A and B are shown apart, each in its own frame.
Chain A
């Protein structure tokens, strides 16, 4: 089965008007499998959420994290149960903070890397110089609160450049939820494979370790090796509000360039011989355009098949 993750959410423990209880109710209504609390620079909501989930006997899983809101960009940690200080943040050596978070058992991601900076929101744009991505689990390629073309488009391209350059890093999406009125239908969420009753946080961690996460509006582009080919399959994950298009187009972006194929009947098979060593599959509704993007699928690495 596929589990839906909402990895970037705020409450009134930092700058959002939504309370911890309202956040829980929102996630239940959305049928989310696992959500993270990622308030700005505080972990004070962890105990509140934990108590409410226990009190109400909810099966919903919470990942207890935080969003580092630094002077040089935001680092969203969907899992970070222990506060790790960031007072020695160095924009030229940010790896030290990422590494410290990982040592503390955290999951680390770069949030909205191309968000607007000066003079509109100081510190929102990611200005840190990362040379070593070893301790960066993912890039938030879609932040649903940000502009699709001017913030998320560049984030997707940056992630693609890193992946095609040989960096094993996952793609994720986040709501960056702040208000009860923030719409979640038609927005992207993160998906990963899991088991009924399985530990959703452990399953996310496992998915990130092998870069098998999906960023999707509600239809996943799944793939598996079958002999000397890759079989692509569309899987509807029943995300509330998802409107299926009449035509699906798959794009493969690899070192050899970009190729598109129509998907009819929900399946498509591509011989391995037609693929580059690394391919990024993406799914569109209709023609290939950012506003038609439906899913960014896990990267295909031939050597790992």
Chain B
């Protein structure tokens, strides 16, 4: 397949909303690949008061340097965590347990999902926790979340649905590739 369009962008932490890219498919395509990748980031915190379990830190954060780059646990974060866990489980955790939870257990990822329309008709959305995904469209096949398409031409819109960005300067790349059965574009 030939690359028809490529774009890169950067998102700030906390952004919620959508960004739409419009591509005019000049030639009909029998196959289309919409490829979205973004920096995978889990939102974690560093705890300057606690002794580190170095083995766990390396497993979760990769390097100690990455751990040190995380935002610090503040009293406000601690209080909010204790309250939320209590609401969720009915169990009131201690400050020490909350600190461990924030460093080792919290599972909150950057969440960006691509949605596609062709000539204003919905053709797919991948709502999965994956930092690298392809929306593949063919007549006899479509990737999960997508609807098979026989012949694609006209206006393709790709919308990035951004639910959560865990870190500032989260980069993403969107590539659209198309092809024909005879190998041409």
Contact = CB atoms under 8 A, between A and B. Distances in A.
A65 B163 CA distance: 22
A44 B84 contact: no
A43 B122 contact: yes
A141 to B, nearest CB: 18
A44 B128 CA distance: 14
Interface string A1-17: 00000000000111100
A120 B124 contact: no
Contact of A41 (B43, B113, B142): B113
Interface size class of B (residues with CB under 8 A): 20 to 34
B89 interface: yes
A123 B161 CA distance: 12
A47 interface: yes
A134 interface: no
Interface string B1-45: 000000000000000111010000000000000000000000100
Nearest to B17: A71
Contact of A15 (B106, B108, B129, B146): B129
A116 B108 CA distance: 13
Contact of A123 (B122, B128, B144, B163): B163
A87 B160 CA distance: 10
A105 interface: no
Contacts of A41: 113, 115, 125, 127, 161
Interface size class of A (residues with CB under 8 A): 20 to 34
A60 interface: no
A47 B144 CA distance: 12
Nearest to B161: A41
A44 B145 contact: yes
Interface string A184-223: 0000000000000000000000000000000000000000
A13 B144 contact: yes
Interface in B94-140: 106, 108, 111, 113, 115, 117, 121-122, 124-129
Interface in A11-47: 12-15, 39-44, 47
Contact of A44 (B18, B144, B164): B144
Contacts of A122: 16, 111, 163-164
A85 interface: yes
A69 B115 CA distance: 12
Contacts of A119: 43, 80, 84, 106, 108
A82 to B, nearest CB: 8
Nearest to A16: B128
B65 interface: no
A149 interface: yes
B10 to A, nearest CB: 19
Contacts of A83: 121-122
B84 A69 contact: no
Nearest to B162: A71
A211 to B, nearest CB: 30
B90 A71 contact: no
Contact of B145 (A39, A47, A123): A39
Contacts of A116: 84, 87-88
B147 A44 contact: yes
A147 B113 CA distance: 27
Interface in A147-165: 147, 149-150
Interface of A: 12-15, 39-44, 47, 69, 71, 83, 85, 87, 116, 119-120, 122-123, 147, 149-150
Which 4 pairs, one residue from A and one from B, show the smallest C-beta to C-beta distance? A83-B122, A40-B127, A122-B164, A14-B127
